[in-house]
Chain A
Amino acid sequence: MQTTRSEFFQGLKHGLPIGLGYFAVSFSLGITARNVGLNAVQGLFLSLLNNASAGEYAGLEAIRTQAPLVELVLLILIANARYFLMSCALSQRLSPTLPWYHRMLIGFDITDELFGIGVTHPYPTPPSYMYGAFLTTIPMWAAGTALGVVAGNVLPAVVVTALSAAIYGMFIAVIIPPAREDKALLVLILISFGVSWGASLLPLLSGLSESLRIIILTLVISAAAALLRPVKEEEVR
């Protein structure tokens, strides 16, 4: 059992590379925000309050087209629905005695990567670990967006293209290391790649929006994996 203090510093340390990756990704988000007409302060708060790459892109598109607010709500619900699932999963990694206010703070920043390090922390994940990780990621994500609004247009297009690969590099870095230990995960990841790519080509499924397709595929593939290869108790711990 580690102390609260050492858990906090561990979180800071694990958050740092995520924060650097966030900075690169949110910089390209800031360029989009600029094109939509947002200023740097609006870009800062957009990222500070939302902490979501796909969700923020969807929101910027809604701002650009002046979509009705009802449509915005639906769009964000769909774009961020995976965080609902991640929040359910993370609830199982916290101590059952953890008070509600800690849960409400942890819930604020359930992102793909922070969820990834939160669920892979040995059970139970302490709040101090998550707060440490928040401290090195949230400011980077917000600052990157603001800077993208201010300085985005000085970069050549090819550099912006390259920067947009950063988020996928981060996704891969969350899922691949555990797959080295558990070959079933490696197989699952490769199947997911294949099915997702195939689904984007099928006439029926490719007609769905990107975020809806992600939700459907996530639930179907995960449920199939859970049925075909239910985990043993020790794997979940």
Chain B
Amino acid sequence: MNTSPWTYILVMAAVSYAIRVLPVTLIRRQIKNRFVRSLFYYLPYVTLSVMTVPAIFSIAEDPACGAVGLVAAILTAWFTRNLFLSACGACLAVLAAALLL
């Protein structure tokens, strides 16, 4: 018999919640260690960077489409500082590249 998708969804939800809620709930004090503080400061920038490259190159068959999208996202984010515009910029650039290249 097949396992119901609901079972999968609920198990996933429990694991996802536990992993997120434990540190923020249990770590109450300010961490004084300079290395740990620096690590936490740099961490979001590194993780989002490594999640973007190289994954963005494989959204279309031609890696150039993803590259064009990446450049468009960086330029719109740099000049507008707006999340929605940056997402739109990436989508439109990839659409244009996929149609033209």
Contact = CB atoms under 8 A, between A and B. Distances in A.
Q: Is the pairing of A and B real?
A: yes
Nearest to B90: A169
A92 B38 CA distance: 12
Interface in A150-183: 158-159, 161-180
Interface residues of B, number: 79
Nearest to B21: A107
Contacts of A21: 83-84, 87
Nearest to B96: A162
A51 interface: yes
Contact of A49 (B13, B40, B42, B53): B13
Most A C-beta atoms less than 10 A away, residue of B28, B35, B39:
B39
A62 B16 contact: no
Contacts of A49: 9-10, 12-13, 16-17
Contacts of A81: 19
A100 to B, nearest CB: 6
A173 B58 CA distance: 20
B45 A227 contact: no
A88 B27 contact: yes
Contacts of B48: 112, 116, 171-172, 174-175
A87 to B, nearest CB: 4
A185 B57 CA distance: 23
18 contacts: A24-B87, A49-B17, A50-B16, A66-B2, A77-B15, A80-B19, A82-B47, A87-B24, A158-B95, A165-B87, A166-B87, A168-B90, A169-B87, A172-B73, A175-B44, A177-B78, A185-B42, A189-B46
List the 3 closest pairs (A to B, CB-CB), nearest first: A169-B90, A107-B21, A17-B84
